[in-house]
Structure 1
């Protein structure tokens, strides 16, 4: 039965990959841009899922790491002419460092207190970008060069679609492997009961900080690609509502469930665009649709099984404690 389910999953993923690869052949530029933004949100939601879905940490300032990645690439490419692929890696590194700096003094807090502090740090990053000269102040950074791949410059919307598709696939694989590792199981135990996890020998602060930093890295990568796609960035692109929309994608899809996170990110981006013909009513209809979804599926569209995942059994405690 297990092999049969695995085979079905492989075929389903292969079919989905084929559809996504061929999408530019049957879609116009407008919907390609929407699809690219959906892929951006998939990467961001997967990164935040490490923090919220796996480790159970309510983060309301995740857009800050998105901003760190974008400004890292923007500043290095415009001011110092650093090649994009170097800035891309540095964007992830700097975002991870920012996650450690922000998380170290705050992750001893729990629940609502942690949410408030992360919201505050997210706004500090945005306001700093709005007032510092190196970030272009309120005007932001313009004229960010397009990246090149083996001499080919990415300029078309389809170029960035495929780049984001590749990043989304790599991120999905990385987050999946993290969730099914000993570290991932340690995060899940912390999410369910921090005190019990610590009694088992898991260093909860260290593991929470690792989740926060790794989640930030994915946000930094997405921010780097966002900067070169848009060619311009401004502080208001990374406001509190961005963090809310990313979190909404996770809650809507199902906390900790990767298919649900992907589905939630797609809905958050595509549904408002599909309702664009309703003009001023579209966001009201979007909100009503979300309310109905949460009423009928409060655990998310792709909720976890009640009996839990097979690799989350308490019989695996020995592996978890060794991860700490």
Structure 2
């Protein structure tokens, strides 16, 4: 068994213990922690498509909606077990990724972005008019099955799956397609196949995130999956560093926590104004609730100015943690074979017969 799966198995009892402790947290803190895990799954999946494979997808909200609605419908109407519903929701999103990817992955750059953005809007309008899932009323009555354990187990598995894929020969082919698609084709790499692989895995993870999202909120509405959500996930990937799973995790956590922290800015500005009218005259503008979005945007601009390649660039925090090694490489010492010289040299001349 590879080291990565040992990490997953060792994490299960830890996650169970943390899940028990999470019930004592403030409900608002619980929500932030849950959304951090869901955003990590989304960012890691999109980073595989946009970062490692070099594509530019803006339809991640559509895959999330398909996974969320599929799993919610199965648990509400058929009482399906939550882990199984999560897998089925992910597979439904992956299947839609195949249907979208086959015609669109022949496009490049801005054209691919426009096509995937259109796909996301088509999915939103489809569920908005689908009576089976409540249409414009939404789908209520979803059981509250999402817990800290399921969210962070799924997040850990998503990180392990993506890192193992990238460190395999298939992952190196995906990166080769990103670096130079024409050269990869000349070397015999099926560029369409490997782009589809990244697209399917990323869509599957988005579907799992949608399942966790729906079973936490207990209601789904199509407008929750608009193109703004897709843009937010793209920002996480770019801010973390294109091609860095560690960066995607850090950026997902940062961009989930930061807006919540900025909610306190108006209250802090009012307290300062009450204590010091002089400072309050300068900080009064920050008392407006809309200013938190201005500050949020300003922080994003500053981060991209000082970290133009993202928080991690294309590096990983622990590059050797999940690297697989064979048993032979672990146990066998490395020895150099003895090679006899082809020509023997000497100072004495050969004797004549």
Q: TM-score range by the shorter chain?
A: 0.7 to 0.9
User: What RMSD, in angstroms, separates the aligned Cα atoms of the two structures?
Assistant: 2.2
Tell me, in whole angstroms, the C-alpha distance in 2 between the residues paired with 1:271 and 1:177.
30
- 3-state SS of the aligned residue for 1:265? helix
1:182-212 alpha-carbon deviations (Å, 9 max, x no partner): 1111111111111011111110011111110
Alignment of 1:1-324 (within 5 A): 21=18, 24=22, 27-147=25-145, 160-278=147-265, 279-304=289-314
As a proportion of its length, which structure holds more helix?
A: 1
Tell me, in whole angstroms, the C-alpha distance in 2 between the residues paired with 1:184 and 1:243.
24
Which runs of no fewer than 5 residues in structure 1 stay unpaired? 1-5, 148-153, 155-159, 311-324
Number of residue pairs aligned between Structure 1 and Structure 2 = 283
1:67-124 alpha-carbon deviations (Å, 9 max, x no partner): 0110001212223333323221111111110000010011001111111100001110
Tell me, in whole angstroms, the C-alpha distance in 2 between the residues paired with 1:234 and 1:218.
20
Using structure 2 for the length normalisation, give the TM-score: 0.76
- 3-state SS of the aligned residue for 1:289? helix
Tell me, in whole angstroms, the C-alpha distance in 2 between the residues paired with 1:181 and 1:241.
34
Give the conservation status (yes or no) of the 8 Å contact 2:139–2:219.
yes
Tell me, in whole angstroms, the C-alpha distance in 1 between the residues paired with 2:18 and 2:56.
34
Highest Rg: 1 or 2?
Answer: 2
Shift of residue 24, structure 1, vs aligned partner: 3.1
Shift of residue 26, structure 1, vs aligned partner: 7.9
Which runs of no fewer than 5 residues in structure 2 stay unpaired? 266-288, 321-353
- 3-state SS of the aligned residue for 1:104? helix
1:233-264 alpha-carbon deviations (Å, 9 max, x no partner): 00011110110111110100101111111111
Give the conservation status (yes or no) of the 8 Å contact 2:181–2:191.
yes
Give the conservation status (yes or no) of the 8 Å contact 2:143–2:218.
yes
1:112-151 alpha-carbon deviations (Å, 9 max, x no partner): 111110000111001101011112111110001234xxxx
